[in-house]
Amino acid sequence: EFQNARLCLATFNPLLKRWSQAKLLFDGRGHSQGNPTLFSHGGKLYLLYVILEGLYWNSAQLHLAEINSTTQRPKYLWKYELPEGTMVRHRPLVKDNEIFIPAYLEKEKKSVLLHGISPFHYLKIKGELGSGPIQGDLLMDSEKELTWILRGTGQQRKVVRAHSVDGGKSWPYVFPTPFECPLSGIAAHRDHDGDIIIAHNNTSEHKRSPLSLSLSRDNLKSLYKSMPLEFGEGEYSYPDLLGDIHGNIHMVYTHNREKIGHYFLGRDTLEKLKE
């Protein structure tokens, strides 16, 4: 709803535990840019994002850019011919030369799985869920099995788990989980032990505090343990989780819709969650 919203890029130095100064990615005025998600493939860094052709998210158009370095402007690649209002929030799942992008249609409040083959000039809808759960994170269980973990909408106030056994073409198995979700964004990560960690607002009240990490050891059938990271008055929302090569987890989130918060969770912290 802010017509001149702009996307910036910053990098994190894991040795110094310090962020670089943010740099503006794109020029241009009059249309908001939003919902950025980064992924890497073939040694290149790509950015998926939307541009609002109108004044609200149901006018969003999905775009892709290649980022060569933090000192160069992104290379514009493609504007996709997808239904107006196609939105992304979580990183694609990358498999060989393919990407599977969890997305949703803002107008219909319906989740769809997008599929593309390198160099990603064309995307198509591979599968979809019925209306309801949106903004899902995608995990690969095996060659053909995928788990889609989503936030609820309407009266559904729990994290939702969907399962596909045909590579994402169909999603016949959709279940509520014990994880609270007060109509707010979630993120999911499977660690080196196969356990699933969920970042979510762990409350039955309609608010976005606390922001917690919760652990399931049985594919989200039950909640093993939960740990609040942000609590008290405020809005801590729209988390994303990323595991690094050392077994640590990074969580980024919006802090009162003013700044981006970043939690660095070392393996020792994660082991405490599993005790």
Sheet holding 225-230, edge to edge: 187-190, 196-201, 211-216, 225-230
Does the N-terminal peptide bond of residue 119 adopt cis geometry, omega within 30 degrees of 0?
yes
Task: List pLDDT tens digits, range 21-44.
Answer: 998 998 766 788 999 999 999 989
Query: pTM (2 decimals)?
Result: 0.92
Closest CA to 89 of 164, 141, 34: 34
Q: What percent of the chain has pLDDT over 90?
A: 67
3-state secondary structure 222-265: CCCEEEEEECCCCCEEEEEEEECCCCCEEEEEEECCCEEEEEEE
Task: List pLDDT tens digits, range 50-63.
Answer: 999 887 889 999 99
pLDDT > 70? residue 158 = yes
Half-sphere exposure at residue 86, Cβ-oriented, CA atoms within 13 angstroms: 21
Q: Other C-beta atoms within 10 Å of 38: how many?
A: 15
Place of tokens 């799985």: 113
pLDDT > 90? residue 117 = yes
| Residue 71: predicted pLDDT | 61
Helical (H) or strand (E) element with 125: strand 123-131
CA distance linking residue 229 with residue 250, whole number of Å = 12
Q: What is the mean pLDDT of residues 158-164?
A: 95
